[in-house]
Structure 1
Amino acid sequence: MIISASYRTDIPAFYSDWLFHRLGAGYCRVKNPYSGRPIRVDLRRQSVTGFVFWTRNFGPCLERLAELRAFGRPYTVQFTITNYPRSLEAAVIDPRKAVEQIRRLNSEVHPKCPVWRYDPVVFTDATDLDFHRRNFETLAGSLEGAVDEVTVSFATIYRKSERNLDAAAERHGFFWSDPDHSVKTALLEEFSAMAASHGMTLTICTQPQFLSSHVEEARCVDARRLGEIAGERVDVPLKGNRPGCACHESRDIGAYDTCPHGCVYCYAVRRRDMALARYKAHDPTADALVPLDPEQPALLPLLE
């Protein structure tokens, strides 16, 4: 089984101690966010095919590369760098540090290990089309030679996302919008040309309506990439985690409402104060990232 750690929260940035404790113990427990049922996930070496880490800051794990190497399984890192204003991203690391980390992953782990995510594309009066053109080109240039793929998507405005964007817009004095399909398609064509000029393939995550001859389907959990790192074929079936997802099958070990980065467009956090409280109360020696006691408030479903 491929272990996803995690599209529900940033485990490398905030919960790396917990991760290494669980690898040592050989298992963890997670709560199914829809049914609420606790699930035991086998993390023994013989049961793990590989890992996909999702992060904005791999720094805590970079200091423990020897332990990851000793575990003996390949891993990729889906590394988000967007360089948005603090009004949208309250507490992410400086993009220059993030670029440096990606370059270390390329040189110290494997050239196929890091994948850059410019994701999601959010439109405000401070992050308009011109901003995205300049910003994407600058970041792509800084990452040339360090990644061969950049994955993008356009922000999906769930109810929680709309509430958080509205609150941030009122607090910081900006306007946000969700442009029509033609605007997004044209921007993707520009992104594709920029990416190609820096040796990258542009892929789009879980939004097949934007596929074209220049925009490929993203496979964020990618057994093929893991196989290239491992030097042998990795046989895992295709099984996306939601409609439109082209990923190989995986088991995610994160929990919603636990990432304190404070990105107001995030689908995985209802309120940052809740995420901060859970982060501060987190026990790195526990078998679950958040308490699974039935008396604890249940996590709301992803699309709430």
Structure 2
Amino acid sequence: MSLANATTLPLVGFTPVHFELNVAGKVATVTLNRPEKKNPLTFASYRELTDFFLAAQKEEDVKAIVVTGAGGNFSSGGDVFEIIGPLVAMETKELLKFTRMTGELVKAMRACPQPVIAAIDGICAGAGAIMAMASDLRLGTAESKIAFLFNRVGLAGCDMGACAMLPRIVGQGRAAEMLYTGRALKGEEAERWGFLNRLVTKEGLLGEAQALAAELADGPTFANAMTKRMLEMEWAMSVESAIEAEAVAQALCMQTEDFARAYRAFANKQKPVFEGN
């Protein structure tokens, strides 16, 4: 899949200002596009990204989302001068408003039914690493550098859900190392630790991420959305509760036409064509 034939996404009338948004078929691609500064986030881009993922919850035509960065980097995190500088001058009430607002982005990414795939090259730090963490799948390159830098600026590693989510991806000890030291994981180590699902070439990164997104988008998307929801919900459940919740979820999926289509295709020795209903 190439962006050459992509068009602006008609997602509930959403028109982005602070990032690029394109769609090809059932796949939307979000591109953080301030390459001269390694794609940092600002107050405005945080809010707009959150609004996008909230709007995606009501979008029926887009079935998967790719998040990437322009110019050979994913994101350097919060802009030093446009975010960190102003934060130093804020009072507690304003600071709490800001930290809650940044957390809303992660909540929105996790709540949208579409699988979110991060295509990571170069710098992926701070809030950029959080966005990658909040994605469902992560593809990277050997040149990827993932770092949770909060302690480097005098802050705790418990930002935007990192202490809850990162241990579930890389394990408690490795998450503690990343959050206490702020050191960068290069691509091969990040894959070995499980933060990256796979390594690809720089040239093939976006294409492979979009191809994977298209594969998921052509699958049983009601069931995929259920899988994402249950992965989220079951963090706080006992095994017994999770088994019951999954029984209910799977019974609902068994009522879909996609389940019947898969059966008919199998019976006729054909590949099922899913339609998401």
TM-score after normalising by structure 2: 0.33
Select the structure that is richer in helix.
2
